[in-house]
Amino acid sequence: AFDLVSNYDEAIKEKVDRDESMIDLMADRVNNYLIQISAHITSGNHIEILNHYYTAIGEFEHLGDKATNICEIAQFMDREKIVFTEQAMTELNVLRELLTTVLDYTDLTFRKCNVDAARHIEPLEEVVDAPYFGQHIPLHNQLHEQLL
């Protein structure tokens, strides 16, 4: 979706929309499955794991929603011939790199149950969540160097 901000392409927007629909469908099905098996789970440890899965599913669904929102903004910008300043594009590119790194660590965490990868996510997320992200670009560069 980020690519659409600088180079709008309706085909890519449609793919993001299809992906978001698939994410929603999968999230619904996984949540239904978790609800079904939760009745059979009695161990506190397993209940905690189940709760983490609920949270993770919600986060993945939220990512899909955000991608759709970015697409809608990019479509509007393209239609109205609105462009970001060079500074704004620089900040968006840093944000994109940061989010890509978070997603890579998330993927590694889930696919390989890699606890070390999981530890890298929160410090990067704090940078993304900072009130004035643009002021944290040097901090991101420092974190990026430390984590890679």
* pLDDT tens track for 5-34: 999 999 999 999 999 999 999 999 999 999
Contact 20, 64 (CB under 8 A): yes
CA distance 124 to 35: 32
Least confident range from 20-24, 33-37, 41-45: namely: 41-45
Give backbone dihedrals phi and psi of 36, rounded to 5 degrees, phi first.
Answer: -65, -45
Please report how many Cα atoms fall inside a 13 Å half-sphere around the Cα of residue 99, on the Cβ side.
14
Contact 125, 102 (CB under 8 A): yes
Q: In whole angstroms, what separates CA 80 from the centre of its chain?
A: 27
Task: Name the strand (E) or helix (H) holding 131.
Answer: none
Would you say 71 and 4 are in contact if contact means Cβ atoms under 8 Å apart? yes
- Is the alpha carbon torsion for 122, 137, 5, 3 positive or negative? negative
pLDDT tens for 48-97 read 888 888 888 988 899 899 999 999 999 999 999 999 888 888 888 888 88
**Confidence band (pLDDT; 50, 70, 90) for 147?**
very low
Q: What is the pTM of this model?
A: 0.75
Q: Name the strand (E) or helix (H) holding 106.
A: helix 86-112
Residue 102 in contact with residue 124, Cβ under 8 Å?
yes
